[in-house]
Amino acid sequence: MTDKTIFSRIIDGELPGTFVYQDDVVVAIRDLKPAAPVHVLVIPRKPIPSLQHLDENDVELAGRMLLAASRIAEQEGLEDGYRLIVNTGPNGGQTVPHLHLHILGGRKMTERMVP
Ligand code: 5GP
């Protein structure tokens, strides 16, 4: 058995994944069950469990994740906009305990999650 996260196993090539971006800090793969025509997960190589576990040492990493998301959205042709989601913890609906951003695009996001 391994205690590595699914995403660490994909990053390490132990499980398949469709990579759309990689640098020294983050990778991005297509979601297995896309909720939009473009659904990409931006994942830090460091297996931080969730946003709740970020600390001062992760400030650059957090910025690099956002910058990568912006670059990937451009690369994916999402010039009309997109949505970034970070599900966090049980109440946030997080299912994989390895921090990740969802980039959702390619359709109009009609679901209003905030007033
Ligand atoms: P969460 O619910 O934690 O915010 O998001 C986890 C996401 O990971 C889900 O959208 C789910 O479809 C995706 N996912 C789960 N397992 C795999 C996998 O093995 N490969 C890929 N590419 N995506 C996965």
Higher confidence at residue 2 or residue 54? 54
Atom number in ligand 1 closest to CA 94: 3
Could you tell me which residue, 115 or 15, shows the higher pLDDT? 15
Task: Tell me what pLDDT residue 112 has.
Answer: 77
Q: What pLDDT, on a 0 to 100 scale, did the predictor assign at position 85?
A: 96
Q: Which two tokens stand for residue 75?
A: 């690369």
pLDDT bucket at 113, cuts 50 / 70 / 90: confident
Looking up tokens 């190589």 gives 45
Mutation test residue for ligand 1: of 2, 6, 30, the one with most atoms within 8 Å of CB: 6
pLDDT digits (tens, 9 = 90+) for 9-63: 999 999 999 999 999 999 999 999 999 999 999 999 999 999 999 999 999 999 9
Cα distance between residue 48 and residue 58, in whole Å: 9
Active site residues: 100
Give 89's contacts (C-beta < 8 A, 6+ positions apart): 50, 52
Spacing, Cα 73 to ligand 1 middle (Å)? 18
CATH number attached to the domain at 6-105:
3.30.428.10
Mean pLDDT computed over 55-81: 98
Share of the chain above pLDDT 90, in %: 92
The mean of the pLDDT values for the chain is 96
Nearby residues of 61 by Cβ (< 8 Å), 6 or more positions away = 25, 26, 44, 46, 48
The DSSP code for 58 is G
The whole-number pLDDT of residue 1 equals 57
Across-strand partners of 28?
A: 21, 42
pTM of the model: 0.96
- Name the nearest CA neighbour of 68 among 30, 106, 27, 38: 27
Distance (Å, whole) CA 106 – CA 29: 16
